[in-house]
Every structure is written in C-alpha cells, then in structure tokens.
C-alpha cells in the first residue's frame, strides 16, 4: 500500500528529497563559510605575530652586522660609519664615494635647516605635551601681532590679530615626508657600510673592484631593471604612499570644518573617531550599521545579477541557430563605449518624475508620474536594474570567450551519457565559468562595494533620512557617504571620512582574501590544466 502511494505521488517524493538535500548542502556551505571567517580572524593574529617575529629578527640581524663589521673592519670601513662614502673613496670607487658623501651632507643640511626635517618632526606632537585645553595640537600655538593704525583724523587705533604660525595639514604632510626621507637615508647608510666592508674584503682577497665605468655599464645592462624602476618607485612613494599615510593618520585627529587650517589647527584624538562610529555617537553608529548592511546587499545583488545576466546573454547569443550574432554583440557593447557618467546621468533624467518616460506614460493614461528615487524600495530596485544594464555587457564579453574555448567533445560525451541541457550547464559550463572568472567575480564584488558612479549619478545616495542628528541616504554606500561627509556636505568631517576609508579597505581586503581562498580558481587549481 505504501509503495502504491509513492507511485501515485510520482515525482513529489523526489522534490522533497531534493529540497532536503539542498537545505543540507546550504547548511554545510554556511558552516564552512563561518569557519573560514573564524580561521581568517585567527590567521590575522597569527600573521601579525609572524610579522613581529620577522621584524624582530631583522632588527637583531642588522645590529649584529652593524657591530660585527665595525669590529672586523679596518679604519677605512670604520670611518664609513661617520662618513658614508669614505670607504669607497679610499678603495678606488671615488665617484661613488663622493656621491654618497654629498647625499649624506644634503640629508644633514635638510634635517638642521630652520624649516627642515627636525623642525617639522618637532611640530607633529604625537607624544608631546597637551595644551591647556587637554588637546595635543599639531603645530605651534601661533604668534600674536599688534598693528598700529592711524585714522585720517590722526587717531591712533591698535588692532590685535592672532595668526597661527603652523598649518597642521602641512606639518603632518612634511613630517611624513621627513620620516620617508629618514628611512631612505637609513637604507643608504646601511648600504654604504655594507659596501665598504665588502670592498675591504675584496681588496684583502685580491678581488676585482669595479670602476665607475663598470658600475654605470651594469646599471644599463645587468641591473637595468633597477634603473628603469627607480623613477616609478619614487613616483609611487610621492603620489601614492605619502598621501595614503596622511589620510590614515587623519583618522586619528579631530580634523573637520571647525578644526582645519588655515582658520584653526587640528589635534590628535587617538581612537576617538572610531569610537564615535562604533558606539560613542549613537547617530554615527546607527547610520554606519544601516549603510554597511545595504552596501553588502548591494554588492551581492549587483555582482550576481550582472554575472548571471551576462552569462545568460552570452549563452543566448552563442546558441546555434541565432542569426545576426555580430549585430547583437555590437548593440550591447555600445553601452560600454559610452562613458558611465553620461549614461547614468541621462537615465536619472529619463526616470525622474518630470522626465520623458513618466510624461509619456501620463499622456497615454497608463500611469501618473511618481518619484521613484524618493522611495527606498523603488530607488534601490532601480539602481540594481540600471546597474545590470550597465554591467552585463562586460560579463557577456568575458563569458563569450570562455564558451568558445570549452572543448566540444565534453558536451558530446555528456549527451551520449544522457545529460540534458540543464545538466550540461551545471556540470560543464558553469564549473568552467567559475574557474576562469572566479578572480574576476571577486574583483567585481569588491568594485561594487566601492561603486561610486551608479549611486552618485542616479540617486545621489537618497532618499535622505536623519536619525539621531546624523543624515545619510537610504541608497548610500560607505564610499558615497564618505564623500558626503567630506566634500558633499557642510560639516566636512575629514577625520570621520578617513576612518570610514580605513574601514572600507579592511572590509574589502578581508572579503577578497576569504572569497579567493574558497574560489574554484584556488581550490581546484589542478583540475582544469
């Protein structure tokens, strides 16, 4: 009787079993993902410990070599500890030694000048004394000037003006630059001592000491890579590393509209800025929590809708029997050729309450004009759908190339074994897609976390809402809210913006490492070779 009931039910038991299997698989995946996150947190501390150990060993090795070379070195090497190029000059490398001496002299002059490196480091006040108000201000307090003004009636007027002698922003920037210069000179100093000791050993062993001409030839031949990469390295240090360190340090100050040069200095506040974002200020903590949830939801929706939509588009266009394939591809690629700010700005105008789309619908009597960007649900739905229109052609191009390179005999073997189109897709097409596009998918996900253009040009982050004194947009991402707090708003909360930038970086780095460790490109690296 029981078997008869099962036969009458047909495929219903199979559906129930499939649903149960799916739930079990999802549960296992969820537990595995949570365990991966826990391991990632543990690995952060393990990695930090390893870095501390390596740095400690490196410092110990440097001190050992520093003392050992001084003890075993002759007077030429020992004088190099005071005059960096002396060992080179006395061992035949005159030009190189003179260059090292000039660089050392320039460094000393730079440090002792009235407005030199030592001055800026003394103004940074990281560990200095606090002022009368308890703040550790960056820069000196300024100088008071008395101006005597004589009116046209001969009356003497005295005006008193106080001007800050130090600009906190310049003090911090120049202090960072000074520290980088000190680090560069330290590397040069270490190299000079090491090279002087090596020259001493070569001379004692009767080895060949390269001349200036031979050194120059090596820089243009054997060590040409160092010559070519020196300028890009200097450029990166100046225009990337220096501003990056400056913006990170800004998060530990009270820099804002009311505490920013030239009107006022800003001061070190430690972790107070992060404390405001995570509990110290109820408005900020609530706002960042809401924006963070939407940012992750947006990144998931924007990434997978583009990926799945672009894949389906590629499958349809590459399907046998479809005519005018080149025309279809060209039509979709045109949307890539148009700059995004033009496409998104025009789409925002078209979908506005008084735009042409709603005017046409109203004229036809189908729908009254509405402001879709003034409602949270419709605004969020709109940005996801418009982002699909912008992003699907990229995925279509990538997956089209993958589809053309999947071996046809795999599909033929699958058909012989009785596999249908759906089974072929999930067993052959999708694994190849994920293997090749796994890193791209991670890149897209992180890019969508920081997708400033779509949100800014479509909704501007709105509709705005004010909670506990803090205003934010219901479609704001962390990156667009950062812009509103620093450049787009009236408060100009530079410290808060810098702290949010650090948080976005940590989130992006953590998610990238976790997702890549679980991607098929990393896990199944050997299966598709």
* pLDDT confidence band for 3 (50 / 70 / 90): very low
- Within 8 A by CB and 6+ apart from 523, the residues are 517
Phi and psi at residue 211, in whole multiples of 5°? -85, 175
**pLDDT, tens digit, 9 for 90 and up, residues 34-90:** 787 787 778 778 888 999 999 999 999 999 999 999 999 888 889 999 999 898 898
pTM as predicted: 0.79
Mean pLDDT, to the nearest integer, of 285-303? Answer: 92
Superfamily in which the 277-522 domain is placed by CATH: MetI-like (1.10.3720.10)
Residues 300, 452: Cα–Cα separation, whole Å:
16
The per-residue pLDDT for 66 is 92
Is the pLDDT at 5 greater than 50? The verdict is no
Alpha-carbon distance of 330 to 324, in angstroms, equals 10
The token pair at 411 is 């599909």
Task: Return the domain boundaries, the chain.
Answer: 2-66, 73-140+167-270, 277-522
Mean pLDDT to the nearest integer, 452-478: 89
Give me the chain's average pLDDT, please.
83
Say if residue 107 is preceded by a cis peptide, omega within 30 of 0.
no
Residue 271 DSSP class: T
**Residue 172's pLDDT is what?**
92
SS3 159: strand
Q: What is the mean pLDDT of residues 117-136?
A: 80
pLDDT in tens, 193-251: 999 999 888 888 888 888 888 888 888 888 888 888 888 989 998 899 999 999 999 99
Q: What is the mean pLDDT of residues 335-356?
A: 86
- Kindly compute the dihedral angle of the four CA atoms of residues 34, 36, 42, 48, in this order, to the nearest 10 degrees: -140
Kindly state the average pLDDT of the residues 467-493: 86
pLDDT band at 515 (very low <50, low <70, confident <90, very high): confident
Say if residue 8's pLDDT is above 70.
no
> CA-to-CA distance for 295 and 504, rounded, in angstroms?
10
How far is residue 446's CA from residue 99's CA, in Å, rounded to a whole number?
Answer: 46
**Whether residue 175 has pLDDT greater than 90:** yes
Q: How far apart are CA 113 and CA 167, in angstroms?
A: 18
């Amino acid at each position: 009787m029981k078997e008869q009931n099962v036969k009458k039910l047909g495929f219903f038991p199979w559906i129930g079993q499939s649903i149960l299997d799916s739930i079990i698989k999802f549960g296992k995946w969820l537990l595995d993902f949570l365990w991966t996150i826990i391991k990632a947190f543990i690995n952060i501390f393990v990695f930090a410990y390893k870095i501390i150990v390596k740095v400690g060993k490196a410092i110990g090795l440097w001190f050992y070599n520093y003392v050992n070379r001084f003890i075993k070195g002759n007077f030429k090497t020992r004088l190099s500890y005071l005059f960096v190029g002396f060992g080179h000059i006395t061992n035949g490398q005159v030009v190189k030694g003179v260059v090292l001496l000039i660089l050392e002299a320039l460094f000393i002059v730079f440090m002792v000048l009235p407005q030199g490196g030592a001055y800026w480091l003394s103004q940074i006040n990281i560990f200095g004394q606090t002022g009368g108000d308890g703040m550790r201000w960056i820069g000196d307090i300024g100088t008071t000037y008395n101006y005597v003004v004589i009116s046209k009636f001969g009356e003497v007027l005295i005006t008193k003006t106080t001007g800050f002698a130090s600009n906190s922003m310049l003090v911090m920037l120049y202090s960072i630059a000074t520290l980088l210069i000190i680090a560069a000179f330290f590397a040069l100093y270490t190299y000079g001592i090491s090279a002087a000791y090596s020259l001493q050993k070569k001379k004692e062993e009767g080895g060949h000491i390269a001349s200036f001409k031979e050194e120059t030839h090596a820089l243009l031949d054997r060590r040409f890579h160092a010559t070519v990469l020196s300028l890009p390295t200097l450029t990166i240090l100046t225009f990337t590393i220096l501003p990056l360190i400056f913006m990170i340090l800004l998060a530990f100050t009270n820099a804002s509209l009311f505490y920013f040069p030239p009107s006022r200095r800003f001061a070190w506040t430690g972790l107070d800025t992060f404390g405001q974002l995570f509990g110290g200020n109820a408005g900020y903590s609530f706002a960042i929590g809401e924006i963070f949830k939407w940012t992750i939801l947006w990144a998931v929706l924007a990434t997978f809708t583009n990926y799945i939509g672009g894949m389906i588009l590629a499958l349809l266009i590459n399907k046998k029997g479809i005519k005018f394939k080149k025309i279809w591809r060209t039509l979709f690629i045109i949307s890539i050729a148009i700059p995004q700010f033009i496409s998104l700005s025009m789409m925002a105008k078209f979908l506005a309450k008084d735009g042409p789309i709603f005017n046409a619908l109203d004229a036809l009597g189908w729908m009254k004009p509405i402001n879709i960007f003034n409602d949270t649900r419709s605004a969020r739905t709109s940005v996801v759908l418009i982002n699909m229109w912008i992003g699907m052609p990229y995925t279509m191009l990538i997956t089209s190339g993958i589809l053309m390179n999947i071996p046809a005999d795999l599909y033929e073997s699958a058909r012989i074994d009785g596999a249908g189109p759906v089974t072929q897709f999930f067993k052959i097409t999708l694994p190849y897609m994920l293997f090749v596009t796994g890193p791209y998918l991670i890149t897209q996900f992180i890019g969508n976390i920081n997708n400033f253009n779509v949100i800014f040009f479509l909704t501007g982050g709105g509709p705005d809402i004010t909670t506990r004194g803090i205003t934010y947009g219901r479609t704001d991402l962390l990156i667009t809210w950062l812009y509103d707090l620093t450049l787009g708003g009236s408060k100009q909360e530079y410290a808060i913006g810098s702290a949010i930038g650090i948080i976005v970086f940590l989130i992006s780095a953590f998610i990238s490492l976790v997702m890549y460790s679980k991607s098929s490109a990393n896990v199944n690296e050997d299966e598709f070779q």
